[in-house]
Amino acid sequence: MGKGSGRDSGKAKLKLLSRALLAVGLTALAAMIIRIRGSGGTPPHGGGWRELSATDLEPVDKK
Amino acid sequence: MRAILVGLGAVGARSARQLLSSSSISELVVFSKRAAGADAKVAALGGAGVVRPELLSDASFSYALSGASVVLLAAPGLRFRYAEESVRAGVPVVSVSDDPGEVRLLLDLDGEAAKQGVAVAVGAGMVPGLSCLLTAWAVSSMDELSEVHVASLGTGGPACARRHHAALREPVEEWRDGAWERKVASSGRELVWFPEQAGADCYRINRPDTLLIARTFPGLRFATTRAAASRRDRFTSWLPMLRPPHPEGTVGAVRVEVRGLRGGAAETVVVGAVGRPALLAGTVAASMAIRAASGELRPGAGGLASRVEGPGEVLADLSERGVRLVTFEGAAMTPAQ
């Protein structure tokens, strides 16, 4: 009791804090790795690409 | 006609091949910074008797300028002084630089170039360059222009890759409602579908496409420039390049989305090109150099959209030279704003 138990309590709190910080740090590192290696996803779209012909490239008369 | 080519990298070499295939170019003077390896590259070009290799220096450039019909600047680093000297000598200039700082310096030659009656074609590569021509062609079908969004995939040679790497960490200026807005480097993630490629995450990049397009089309409301990049590219852009760039670059693409009005109705035109970026850039640069030498470009300094009379005709010429031009038909994508 007394000073001894106070030191033990303080050590326990410090241990808890260091474990919490370690957990947060590891989580952040994992999140960073996943974010860097992640992909962008695929949006929906319709239609397709067609090659432009010589006719397409002729001057267009605006009406 | 005698043409001067400064730089024999990935883009320069392809430009040289295209120039040598033209009957209008009777002599090609090729300047290179390094003698070692240049002779082998020049020999690989063929064109014996037509190609003259030279070591780049102020004195040798000034000497070669006399009697030249066009100067094509295809080397990295600030080559502004060669452009300035060429304009003063009355020789048109074509520059493939995609460095915004150098592009601004070249645009400042507008007054001098107009006075001399010569053209300075700025940003005559893939992006900018082909992107500007595609924009001009798409705009020609519209009554009123509203937005232009340029996206690119891939890089050319090592110099292009290094510039791309640096551009991802530099702040970006976007054109919005008549004013420039500063944006954070590599922000604005948007998934873009390129011709014949899978979708790629694209981010804002510090490239002069927006500047050149905004100067050419005064009524433009909104313009953006993006490039495909992985999260790894963005995360490491503030570091030196961690591995040597690819000497050639893989297959790439450029996509231009133009929005406006036609016949009172909203119109969206999506056009693009696909191919090796160095090849696309070299073909565009050479085509512009031949036109500049023939006096077909408008006097003054500006992007390609402002220098050519008929973008369709220029694109048709590029198509004949092997550039694959495509248009998207179907449901248009809505870019994240």
pLDDT digits (tens, 9 = 90+) for B70-86: 999 998 876 899 999 99
Q: B222 CA to chain A: closest CA distance, Å? A: 23
Tokens 């001894």 label which residue? A4
- For residue A42, what pLDDT is reported? 53
Tell whether the torsion through CA atoms of A25, A27, A28 and A32 is positive or negative.
Answer: positive
CA distance B122 to B106: 7
Residue B239: band (very low, low, confident or very high) from pLDDT cuts 50, 70, 90 = confident
B316 to chain A, any CB pair closer than 8 A? The answer is yes
Task: Name the residue among A48, A50, A59 with its Cβ closest to that of B140.
Answer: A59
Residue B35 has pLDDT above 80, yes or no: no
Planar angle of CA B216, B221, B225, nearest 5 degrees: 70
Asked whether the whole model's pTM tops 0.80, one would answer: yes
Q: ipTM of this predicted complex?
A: 0.78
Alpha-carbon Rg for chain B, nearest whole angstrom, is: 19
Mutate which of B192, B230, B257 to test chain A, going by most A C-beta atoms within 10 A? B230
pLDDT in tens, B292-319: 999 999 999 999 999 999 999 999 999 9
From residue B214, how far is each of B36, B100, B205, B287, B299 by CA, in Å? Answer: 42, 14, 16, 23, 19
The yes-or-no verdict on residue A2 having pLDDT over 60 is: no
Nearest to B170 by CA among B162, B245, B95, B178: B162
- Distance, in angstroms, between B336 CA and closest chain A CA? 12
Over residues B325-329, the mean pLDDT reads: 93
**Interface contact B330-A48, CB threshold 8 A:** yes
Tell if the CB–CB gap between B325 and A60 is shorter than 8 Å: no
Chain A CB contacts of B231 under 8 Å are: 35-38
pLDDT band at B233 (very low <50, low <70, confident <90, very high): confident
Q: With 60 as the cut, is the pLDDT of residue B335 above it?
A: no
Determine the Cα–Cα distance for residues A18 and A15; give it in Å rounded to an integer. Answer: 5
Task: State which amino acid sits at residue B162.
Answer: R
pLDDT for B36: 63
Hey, which residues does B200 pair with through a beta bridge?
A: B192
Least confident stretch, A22-36, B62-76, B199-213, B302-316: A22-36
The 3-state secondary structure of B223-249 reads EEEEEECCHHHHHCCCCCCCCCCCCCC
For A42, the closest chain B residue by CA position comes to B199
At B182 the pLDDT is 95
User: A34: which chain B residues are within 8 Å (Cβ-Cβ)?
Assistant: none
Alpha-carbon span B221 to B156, nearest angstrom: 30
Q: How far is B137 from chain A (nearest CA, A)?
A: 8
**Mean pLDDT within B238-247:** 77
Q: Long-range contacts for B314-321 (Cβ within 8 Å, ≥24 apart)?
A: B314/B133, B314/B287, B315/A52, B315/A57, B315/B133, B315/B134, B315/B137, B316/A54, B316/A57, B316/A58, B317/B287, B318/B130, B318/B133, B318/B283, B318/B284, B318/B287, B319/A52, B319/A54, B319/A57, B321/B18, B321/B283, B321/B287
Q: Answer yes or no: is pLDDT of A62 > 50.
A: no
- Find chain A residues with C-beta within 8 A of B189's C-beta: 40
B322 touches chain A (CB under 8 A): no
